[in-house]
Chain A
């Protein structure tokens, strides 16, 4: 056969061949009516013609072939027997298919005959299945406008993948991710079915999930996510109505996990229902946990309506947060005691306490969070005033104003942010005439953005002004005696000079931008929040100032390490990874090591804090300050620790590389490693040692 590239032409040839096959099979059936081989072959030929014809939208051909095929389906199922008459009619129908193939539609003069042939064939097979019209787009045709209201609501999706889910090539995680694309989710996993390791079959799926999805997507869109799950998997989607507090028992009954009568029976006990049900084995602990999550989510959604709220003095809230912080610390101590006493009952109770303390912590921190909007909003007005005063035209854009941040942090960010914005308008953005001359629109663009990145909040101030001139900064710094005239500085280091005390490049001191009181104050204020500020700029294009701020000041989750016998805590927000020191490839100079394909500077904390020197096989904690990685060498890594961070006090607050202190479970103190500061020191040191 000629290997034509055009599928339509190929189809023509192929269909002719198939009709030939059909004819031979029909003739074969005439000689041997019981021959299933011929029967199957005829059916397949019709089926293939129909299938391919649908792809070329040959609707008349598809329709006729479909009816013809149904006749053979019936024959194959034994609903009728092949007779001589049936073969005759089939051959006639085949000829009509040939016509259809060549002309695309049934010529008017044979239309009646074509219909008559098919009707008689359909009559010959007594129980032709109720002809399902080829429902080619069953899914697409359905539009359920009512369901597509675009109204946000809460859906409860119970997904119980069958054990063979992995073997079918499906990854439940990707389905959950697809749901996450549709809205916000709360996912509760069921892991109870996972057998002990020796019985575990790696390609079996033992997991199940409940997903609470808040979405405005239609039910169909949600169902479509699961369109490919296999038949043994169970997916149920129910709408959950908020608006009222629902008891645990009601949720479980609603989910079909518990009958109403059982519920009433168990409610008779004065013990928490969840506990009773789990202890009696009526409902699994996972199910109770999942139902409780739903209860809480709904409570939260309802409270978000903000119809009922009460004002609380910030001071009281602060007290609560710090009190909870103390709980967290004490909790850690009790944990240790319980483990030492090896009292199983006590350990269990302590674990429950730990869960409650964690919830209390989250709740109190939640109460303390305010949207960045409160920080950004005053700048709408301020920008206008500054612009007028300085003869600038500025359009201000605020992004991510819903990002939440600790209220105390927000309060302390006001001044630094004001400095930065002033600088941008005064030194960054050019006058309208200068902008026009530079081929830019008259109006300068100023963008304030906030977004979460792990346990940090990024706040950026971006302008499309003149950018910062390296040479001007350099000259100024030399003039001020900050650097020697021949100092070799990277661009980044040059820009960093802006943050040095006493530095100002403004040609004339203006009323608004102050006299060199600016970026150094900004940096100091931000560092007091354990944050960092960096600047990037491109001449003629604009300047971006980025603030990296921890979400909260109150309680820090960190990695506890020993350095030469002393305890240090490294904020988890900065940690990328811990690297086994024996496996790390260190450079012979000792100042660097290979990390995931790049060279990363090493900072030996023991040496830095002057305790001595680390061993060559000590573990490395890789931390990220902005885009930069540093490997901190510690003696041992102990584990996670949550704690209230205390200030160092006036006497010690200028100690470099330490940002605060915490109390450990046994009452001894540990110092917080100031990652941002250490990174700057590390990059300087290593450049010198080159």
Chain B
């Protein structure tokens, strides 16, 4: 699958990149929401985004993708630090498909991506 990773932390990006490319996925990096939105296109099967980022955060990125013209139903996985109900609700209402709480294991990340990508409606 072709996956877009949006995270302002280079170590997080690198770690996710290693996990995902190790599982055979193609990975593109973006350093924050606006970079992610600029790189986003119809070729991505899944987007993985952080919640808190400078410039444009995860919620705004999701809103922008969901209200856009291109690939608007792409599954989006949000990374959160705490499993705070409020943040999850924010992300969910913006249109996140799923979230995963840091720290996550390699297995749970891959399983979650597998789960949401299988559930694509169109």
Contacts and interface: CB of A to CB of B under 8 A. Distances in A.
Interface in B23-42: none
Given A167-B73, A230-B92, A52 B118 contact: no
Nearest to A55: B103
A289 interface: no
Contacts of A135: 82-83
B10 A51 contact: no
B69 interface: no
B69 to A, nearest CB: 12
B12 A52 contact: yes
B93 to A, nearest CB: 6
Interface in A646-670: none
A25 to B, nearest CB: 12
A423 interface: no
A44 B52 contact: yes
Given A10-B14, A169-B116, A54 B103 contact: yes
A137 B9 CA distance: 22
B43 interface: no
B8 to A, nearest CB: 6
Interface residues of A, number: 40
Q: Output the residue of A41, A51, A132, A227 with the most chain B CB within 10 A.
A: A51
A7 B15 CA distance: 5
A175 B11 CA distance: 34
Given A10-B10, A47-B52, A132-B84, A166 B121 contact: yes
Contacts of B122: 166, 203
A231 to B, nearest CB: 5
A141 to B, nearest CB: 11
A228 interface: yes
Contacts of A228: 97-99, 115-116, 119
Interface in A220-246: 227-228, 230-232
Given A48-B52, A54-B81, A169 B93 contact: no
Shortest beta-carbon contacts, A-B, top 4: A11-B11, A169-B75, A169-B97, A7-B15
6 contacts: A41-B54, A54-B103, A134-B81, A136-B103, A138-B83, A169-B119
Interface of A: 1, 5, 7-8, 10-11, 14-15, 41, 44, 47-48, 50-52, 54-55, 57, 132, 134-138, 164-171, 174-175, 203, 227-228, 230-232
Given A14-B10, A55-B11, A169-B76, 16 more contacts: A7-B14, A7-B15, A10-B10, A10-B14, A51-B81, A54-B81, A54-B102, A134-B81, A136-B102, A136-B103, A164-B95, A168-B73, A169-B73, A169-B120, A228-B119, A232-B93
